[in-house]
Amino acid sequence: MKKGGFGKNKPLLITIVALVVLAAMILASAGRGTANWFENAVGAVLTPVQGFAARASNSIADFFRGVFNTTDADKENAKLKSELALYNKMQLELEELKKENERLRGLLEYSGSFGECSGVAASVTGRSTDIYFRVFTVNAGRNQGIDVDMPVICADGLVGRVTEVGATWSKVTAVIDAETSVPVMVERTRDNCMVRGVLNTVDSEAGMELYYLPRDRTDLVPGDTVITSGIGGIYPKGIKIGSVREVLTSDGEANAIISPSVDFVHIEEVFIITGNGEG
């Protein structure tokens, strides 16, 4: 029974003895510059294992270093993208402000060509549902001194007149509206007549019709400029309306189709004339 027990634990005892001997030899060699044959043998066995362990350790360290570096790079990349998007947004806003400033400067310069006119600049905030925008809303109203029938212009010419006023908004009816009539004159010939809004059924373009012009008193030709005559007391004299596109004659009268000088589809800012400097 004892022999059997010893035999059963023999491998464990051998291992313990070997470890003790190995530890003793390592302690004995501490401080020596050279290794004995046993140390060399152990070193030969352990060196490849140590090399493999070192390489594995380095690989693991490199992996985690790459993970953290990639995370930092992603964060930096996201930050740069966000800053670039913000810069582009600010650049677009700056360009829009420059364009708006140029339009307003042109608008004020044009309004100044009619003498000492006073007025209020306003932005278009709403439009009618028809494709020609015959009626639109601006962001100036009674609080800004706006009243019904005040003329509205832009840098390209006459827009229309105020037809409805709220506290901070107004509705403007454009000169291309069929219910609108404006006293005008042909700039070159100085002939007085009237224009009204009309939709040209031939090419489906919004325009105006010039009428009440005696045929025997004019040599109206395409390209002639039409301006406000100042008659009637609503529109100051000299505001551009448009140019003659086509001349029509019938029953002793000369009529014409006028192309408006204002682009009503793309209008953004207007100037509402509140006073002409008289009285």
Report residue 278 as tokens: 């008289």
Best mean pLDDT range from 37-46, 47-56, 146-155: 146-155
| Pair 139, 54 in one domain | no
Res. 87: pLDDT tops 90: no
| Pair 202, 66 in one domain | no
Out of 114, 143, 160, a domain closes at 114
In this prediction, residue 260 carries a pLDDT of 93
Mean pLDDT, residues 112-130 taken together = 79
| Pair 143, 221 in one domain | no
CA–CA distance, 218 with 210 (Å, rounded to integer): 13
| Pair 71, 196 in one domain | no
| Pair 188, 77 in one domain | no
In this prediction, residue 200 carries a pLDDT of 52
In this prediction, residue 72 carries a pLDDT of 72
pLDDT tens digits along 2-29: 555 555 666 666 666 566 556 556 555 5
CA–CA distance, 64 with 54 (Å, rounded to integer): 15
In this prediction, residue 168 carries a pLDDT of 95
| Pair 22, 92 in one domain | yes
CA–CA distance, 104 with 197 (Å, rounded to integer): 26
Q: What's the predicted TM-score (pTM) here?
A: 0.62
Band of pLDDT at residue 92, cut at 50, 70 and 90: confident
Out of 114, 144, 163, a domain closes at 114
192 contacts 183 by C-beta, under 8 angstroms: yes
Helices (H), 112-215: none
Q: How far is CA 224 from CA 134, 159, 194, 206, 213, in A?
A: 24, 19, 15, 18, 14
Task: Report the run of H or E that residue 172 belongs to, with start and end.
Answer: strand 170-174
Band of pLDDT at residue 207, cut at 50, 70 and 90: confident
Domain with 238 in it: 181-260
Report residue 251 as tokens: 């029953």
| Pair 3, 127 in one domain | no
State whether the Cα torsion 163-164-170-176 is positive or negative.
Answer: negative
Out of 114, 148, 165, a domain closes at 114
Residues 6 or more apart whose Cβ sits within 8 Å of residue 155: 103, 106, 107, 109, 110
| Pair 153, 204 in one domain | no
15-29, 54-68, 161-175, 225-239: segment of lowest average pLDDT: 15-29
Q: How far is CA 19 from CA 23, 39, 42, 231, in A?
A: 6, 13, 12, 122
CA–CA distance, 194 with 253 (Å, rounded to integer): 13
| Pair 135, 243 in one domain | no
196 contacts 180 by C-beta, under 8 angstroms: yes
| Distance from chain centroid for Cα 87 | 12
In this prediction, residue 163 carries a pLDDT of 95
| Pair 110, 128 in one domain | no
Res. 201: pLDDT tops 50: no
| Pair 171, 206 in one domain | no
| Pair 271, 147 in one domain | yes
Task: Report the run of H or E that residue 58 belongs to, with start and end.
Answer: helix 37-111
CA–CA distance, 208 with 199 (Å, rounded to integer): 8
210 contacts 224 by C-beta, under 8 angstroms: no
Mean pLDDT, residues 171-176 taken together = 94
pLDDT tens digits along 210-256: 988 877 767 889 999 999 999 988 999 999 999 999 888 777 777 89
Choose between 74 and 140: higher pLDDT. 140
Q: How many structural domains are present in the chain?
A: 3
Average pLDDT, the chain: 77
Mean pLDDT, residues 102-120 taken together = 68
In this prediction, residue 57 carries a pLDDT of 63
